[in-house]
Structure 1
Amino acid sequence: MEQLISISLGYIFGCFQTSFLIGRLYKKVDIRQFGSGNAGTTNAIRVLGWKAGVLTFLGDSLKAILAIFLIRLFYNDQVFALYTGLGVVIGHNFPFYLKFKGGKGIAATSGVLLAFDYRIALVACLTFIVIVALTRYVSLGSLFIATWTPIAIYLFYPDRLEMLILGLIFMSLAYYKHMGNIKRLLKGEENKLGQKKSA
């Protein structure tokens, strides 16, 4: 029951689609109809500009932090933070009121890691910055965060199998949502940060 409550609470928070709302309020557009069609930070930067992209990242990260803060008022075990974070990512990726078409969950995952364990988040953040700075592939940095999540959980919480399984689910969701990016990376056709994408 505790796990179900945690995931449900996270899902409710995750359904807050920052870039969709910014697009509607700022330029009167549905961001999912432009660029990559993704309601996330990178597409917000390409379609709406850097300011909207930064606000999207902050909003998508903050909703995960707030959800985990709230669940900790009721449950102290770290595993419930991960269950809540997983709910946030699912809600972000598959919001029911937008026909389950949302983002890819990396900004939300970043917020989850920050609220869950700042050490894990710090490594993820610094490495992401280095990867994107060197390659300009946001997707490559995002896939690192996804891969790092279960590895870090195993390293910092070696005796918590349930938490490791949750980490692997986080990674699987990210890889699933980035399948198109992975194919383009392998073909050398992936868009780099700063490139514009047409409607």
Structure 2
Amino acid sequence: MKIMILILIAYLLGSIPTGLWIGNSIYKINLRDHGSGNTGTTNTFRILGWKAGTVTLVIDVLKGTLATLLPAWLGLESSWPLVIGFFAIIGHTYPIFAQFRGGKAVATSAGVLLGFAPAFLFFLLLIFGIMLYLYSMISLASVTAAAVALLGIAVFPALNFLLYDYNGLFSLIIVCVASIIIFRHKENIQRILKKEENTVPFGLNLSHQNKE
């Protein structure tokens, strides 16, 4: 019963559509009608500005971290924190409070890793930052970090680097989360191939996308 309650709490936490609620309540702007139509951090930054974007980012990350830490605080050890955290990611991606149309899982996934494997997260953030600087695309940086995470769970334990043993459940959830992130960015990938993807106003833009 305790596990089921925590799963429900994690899903409901993840389902909080931060950017959508901030836009509707404070700015009187529905994010679904602007930019990419997505309610996640990137579109919030683009449409509502850096203040709203920063708040959205912090809350979306904390949703994953809180869901991951709750089981540990209640004495549930082993891999339960990771399992519970995964349901926050599902909630963020398919939120009950927003007609099951949510974000692209990046921020809340980072929050789960922050609570369960922070060193691995910081490595992925480094990859994200490098790709963002080189190509000026949050979408490409996100997809690349997801792909590197897949490579990491396969290679790092053998190298005794950041991940020190093969954890089957951790690997399974990383595969699921990375797949969700890549799938949710399929339209971005298509625009990248056409050199029509939106870019941020910094970085090298090495693939020469059309800037927004």
Amino acid in structure 2 at the alignment position of 1:126: L
Q: State the match for 2:44 in structure 1.
A: 44
CA distance in 1, matches of 2:5, 2:83: 9
Kept in 2: contact 1:93–1:104 (CA 8 A): yes
Q: How many residues align?
A: 195
The CA deviation string for residues 119-147 of structure 1, in whole angstroms up to 9 with x for no partner, is 11111112211211121110011112222
The CA deviation string for residues 155-196 of structure 1, in whole angstroms up to 9 with x for no partner, is 215432222111100011111111101111122111111455
Q: State the match for 1:135 in structure 2.
A: 135
Q: Which entry has the higher C-alpha Rg, 1 or 2?
A: 2
Amino acid in structure 1 at the alignment position of 2:72: R
The CA deviation string for residues 30-58 of structure 1, in whole angstroms up to 9 with x for no partner, is 21221101011110011001111111110
Q: State the match for 1:179 in structure 2.
A: 186
Report the Cα offset of residue 6 of structure 1.
Answer: 5.0
Q: State the match for 1:161 in structure 2.
A: 168
Amino acid in structure 1 at the alignment position of 2:174: G
CA distance in 2, matches of 1:184, 1:82: 33
State the SS of the aligned residue for 2:73: coil
CA distance in 2, matches of 1:86, 1:36: 25
Structure 1's 62 and 25: CA in aligned 2 closer, same or farther, altered over 3 A? Answer: same
Does 1:150 find its partner at 2:150?
Answer: yes
Amino acid in structure 1 at the alignment position of 2:173: L
Percent identity between the two aligned chains: 34
CA distance in 1, matches of 2:178, 2:101: 19
Q: Which has the higher contact order (CA 8 A, sep 6+)?
A: 1
Does 1:93 find its partner at 2:93?
Answer: yes
CA distance in 2, matches of 1:23, 1:127: 30
Q: State the match for 1:123 in structure 2.
A: 123
Does 1:193 find its partner at 2:200?
Answer: yes
Report the Cα offset of residue 4 of structure 1.
Answer: 5.2
Kept in 1: contact 2:92–2:103 (CA 8 A): yes
Q: State the match for 1:76 in structure 2.
A: 77
Structure 1's 36 and 90: CA in aligned 2 closer, same or farther, altered over 3 A? Answer: same
State the SS of the aligned residue for 1:103: coil
Q: State the match for 1:114 in structure 2.
A: 114
Report the Cα offset of residue 2 of structure 1.
Answer: 7.5
CA distance in 2, matches of 1:39, 1:6: 25
Q: Which moved more, 1:64-73 or 1:35-44?
A: 64-73
The TM-score normalised by the length of structure 1 is 0.89
Kept in 2: contact 1:6–1:83 (CA 8 A): no
Structure 1 unaligned runs (5+)? none
Report the Cα offset of residue 5 of structure 1.
Answer: 5.2
CA distance in 2, matches of 1:97, 1:22: 14
State the SS of the aligned residue for 1:72: helix
Kept in 1: contact 2:17–2:97 (CA 8 A): no
Report the Cα offset of residue 61 of structure 1.
Answer: 0.2
Q: Which moved more, 1:128-137 or 1:149-158?
A: 149-158
CA distance in 2, matches of 1:73, 1:145: 29
* RMSD over equivalenced CA pairs, Å: 1.9
